[in-house]
Amino acid sequence: MNYGAEVEVTIARVRAEVSRLHAELTRYELVIWTGGNISARVPGADLFIIKPSGVSYDDLAPENMILCDFDGVVIEATPGSNRSPSSDTAAHAYVYRHMPEVGGVVHTHSTYATAWAARGEAIPCVITAMADEFGGEIPVGPFAIIGDDSIGVAIVETLTGHRSRAVLMQNHGVFTIGADAKDAVKAAVMAEDVARTVHISRQLGTPLPIAPEAIDALFDRYQNVYGQSALPTSRR
């Protein structure tokens, strides 16, 4: 299939970006083995690029990223290969279909975020970096079976109207969204960092709450003065 020269150039750029961003997941030890995945919307088309299933992080390259449509159907894999896309492709596709402002989606089983998720417990906003980045708690979505639309539905329902770009899926792991893939990766890195810091703080007592108006002020300043995200404020 050919989408015209302009879209083809965009696809090539997004392939390279999605491939390259996976190195941030290993750098911050958010993933092991072949787990975790990043996708990015192809601007100007109802398409996205996602990691292949079961390929080592050492072997990821622009040319083995998979091009899918918004039903999660593979449009283009590496010529001559039979790589299938990430087993979470249906969830990514559902998010792109229902959240037009989202340009990137990330999924990991990062340790501390998953530990909160296993208890079905939201992460309370008790550090300023969390107020900056997430504008409040990181919420929990329901237990959902892997492989159909259930996870996508849960992500969209939980994050719509919520400031947080991260959602803990109960007993499972964390999904993050962003204006683009890099923004979603940043949210995944920050989500694990705050999950860890708040966990450790709670081990020896109760973290002090931050007043809601201070959370609002921190979030507003960070998103509007220092933020560089293209997600509209109402979304974030």
Contact flag: residue 128 with its own copies (CB under 8 A): yes
Residues numbered 16 to 75 that lie near its own copies (CB under 8 A) are 28, 32-33, 35, 53-54
Least Cβ distance, residue 8 to its own copies (angstroms): 29
Helix, strand, coil % over all residues of the chain, rounded to 5? 45, 15, 40
Binding marks (x or -) toward its own copies, 173..202, rule CB under 8 A? x------------x--xx--x--xxxxxxx
| Pairwise CA distance, residues 61 & 135, whole Å | 35
Helix (H) or strand (E) holding 52: none
Which range in 7-15, 38-46, 72-80, 171-179 contacts its own copies by CB under 8 A? 171-179
Is 38 within 8 Å of 51 (Cβ atoms)? yes
DSSP-assigned letters across all residues of 97-123: HH-TT--EEEEE--HHHHHHHHHT-PB
**Identity of the residue numbered 10:** T
Least Cβ distance, residue 2 to its own copies (angstroms): 31
Residues that bind its own copies (CB under 8 A): 28, 32-33, 35, 53-54, 87, 109, 111-112, 114-121, 126-129, 132, 143, 145-147, 170-173, 186, 189-190, 193, 196-208, 210, 214, 217-218, 221, 225-226, 228
